[in-house]
Chains A and B, each alone.
Chain A
Amino acid sequence: MIETRDLTRRYGDTVVVDGVSLRMPERAFVSVIGANGAGKSSVLSMISRLLPMSAGRAFVDGLDVSATPGDVLARRLGILRQEHGVTARVTIRDLVAFGRYPHSKGRLTEADRARIADALAFLDLEPLAERFLDEVSGGQRQRAYIAMVLAQDTDCILLDEPLNNLDMRHAAAMMGLLRRAVDERGRTIVAVLHDINFASCYSDQIVAMRDGKVVAVGPPEEIVTPEVLRAVYGIDVEVVTVKGYRTVFFYR
């Protein structure tokens, strides 16, 4: 379970996250939406202890993230960031194997290998497993990183823009996979999404942010409305229901 209390982040006088208090439901897919610079990534970074908080606290499974040893947290919380920079020649299988580090500390057991194979299969990466990371496309690399996070086998997973670099087909497939990870494996996934329609079609709950504050929290039916979206993004949109899902038309 993920919880934040008055999470705040300041840079000098600029407040980028302003007293965010959230309680994410368990075994659910939670999307965080908002305009650029709304503080979505900063909230995720603070929960994942990548960015120190100026004030407030964050808890994962009841553990205070600022006070819990990193390796304990690493067995409960998996994180995917936006940018990756690996200088070494690492294959996709090697990368996914790193996901087992919190459990095996580098010495892989048979159980670890099984998890790695499982994660590779789950993301359809088996044919690419021996390719080097710098020899595959951006989308394949993105999937490899997701596989690493899944191999980490944590109950909670934070994803910062998991659809980055993915085309329509792979984006839809990725959302389907994440949905399955929630439904079949009981994970809790919190993802920053820029595509409001993906958020609407796949989420159990949507957190909408603007200027560092949470504007609205609720299921897609409550959030994906012209009124709320105007408050979040500051534009007028049309909401259409297609196949039972609320979708947003904002292109013209």
Chain B
Amino acid sequence: MHDGALDSAPGRSLGRPLGRLLGRSLGALARVRMSPARVLLLLALAALGLAIAFMTVGANGRWGFVLPFRGTKLASLLLVACAVATATVLFQTVSGNRILTPAIMGFDELYRLIQTGLVVAVGSGGFGDPRLRFLAEAGAMVLFACLLYRWLLARGERSLHLLLLVGVVCGVLFRSLSQFLQRMLDPNQFVVLQTSFFANFNTVHPDLLALAALGLAAAGFGVWRLVGRLDVLLLGRDEAIALGVDYRRTLTLVLVLVALLVSLSTALVGPVTFLGLLVANLAYRVMPTYRHAFVLPAAALVAAITLVGGQLILERVFALNAALSIVIEFLGGLTLLVLLARRAR
């Protein structure tokens, strides 16, 4: 599925200059040793500048139309940026691994299974109220995560690695199930279904944004309460327990928050696998501290810069209203390969 999409997309020709531009500016940021607060301020200014540019550049028409139209798009980009970046950093902190993303837990595959199941059950036309569907999707994914974590963590000394493996197996199961269901669809419905498998920032329903923002705020509050404990979790399970962190409770809480954030973003625009990996690792590089109070907002801002900047360049410079997600996934995939290659050495 991915291959076909890449062939028709501008991902390959655009990926490199965009990546070089990003890499160079962020590399420059990393070389000068600045205080974490200043790095955060610079990132915020960059994000703000891009957001303003996104709203105004090339706007010829009635503002009454342009602003709400672009505003919706901007809001969805920012929401996804915050959710994906936070989820990835949290997940990497508790798993003690910087090349994993929450996608390993099978969330993307569950999303595809739910989509497929809906098309099979209701048909491609009548999905009903989009808000209801959004809630159902997000709810199903959070429920799945809670059940999985409760089942695995309730029995005491189960390791995190076992949890990850079960996630991988569930992912394969969901994929097989949805492929099985897809074989029974008629070709027209399948095409409709396939479009929902790629992240799309252009067709977000305004009603959903409010719901998603509410969920994001709730998750954000939860994360903010956990920030100090997250720092300790960086030392690993044993040290965290030694320093008095209730490890199992904190781990469950963090994983449920990750599930909530991932499901929000996935239900809003579709699966974005590699964006989190890209922005989390960029955030680790530009932030001169390990502290989550700085790393989390930095990752969210880097994600916002990547998404809004990327969309701006795609729309205005290259005059292509094409899929941003594919470019981002391309860059993210590249990041994964670079990280893997570096580790191997």
Contacts and interface: CB of A to CB of B under 8 A. Distances in A.
Interface of A: 48-52, 69-75, 77-79, 81, 84-90, 94-95, 98-99, 101-102, 105-107, 149, 152
7 shortest interchain CB distances as A-B pairs: A74-B244, A71-B244, A106-B228, A79-B242, A88-B290, A102-B244, A88-B234
A81 B238 contact: yes
Contacts of A95: 235
Q: Which of A70, A74, A84 has the most chain B CB within a 10 Å cutoff? A: A70
Given A70-B247, A86-B236, A98-B239, 4 more contacts: A48-B242, A79-B242, A88-B290, A101-B232
Contacts of B284: 88-89
A94 B157 contact: no
B88 to A, nearest CB: 14
A26 B29 CA distance: 53
A50 B243 CA distance: 11
Given A74-B244, A87-B98, A81 B231 contact: no
Contacts of A72: 244
A105 B97 contact: no
A14 B110 CA distance: 40
Contact of A84 (B236, B241, B243, B290): B236
Contacts of B243: 74, 98-99, 101-102, 152
Q: Which of B237, B238, B247 has the most chain A CB within a 10 Å cutoff? A: B238
Given A70-B246, A87-B97, A152-B243, A98 B290 contact: no
B96 interface: yes
B156 interface: yes
Interface of B: 92, 96-98, 156-157, 227-228, 231-232, 234-239, 241-247, 284, 290
A88 B232 CA distance: 11
B244 A85 contact: no
Main secondary structure of the interface of A (DSSP, over half): loop
Contact of A98 (B96, B97, B232, B246): B232
A200 to B, nearest CB: 28
Contacts of B239: 81, 84, 98
B251 to A, nearest CB: 13
Nearest to A79: B242
28 contacts: A48-B242, A49-B241, A50-B242, A51-B157, A69-B246, A71-B244, A71-B245, A73-B244, A74-B242, A74-B243, A75-B244, A77-B242, A81-B239, A81-B242, A87-B234, A88-B290, A90-B234, A90-B290, A98-B235, A98-B243, A99-B243, A101-B232, A102-B243, A102-B244, A105-B228, A106-B231, A106-B232, A152-B243
A85 B96 contact: yes
B192 to A, nearest CB: 42
A44 to B, nearest CB: 11
Contacts of A84: 235-236, 239
B95 to A, nearest CB: 9
Nearest to A78: B242
B96 A70 contact: no
Contact of A70 (B157, B237, B245): B245
A43 to B, nearest CB: 15
A191 B234 CA distance: 25
A85 to B, nearest CB: 5
Contact of A85 (B227, B228, B232, B236): B236
Contacts of B228: 101, 105-107
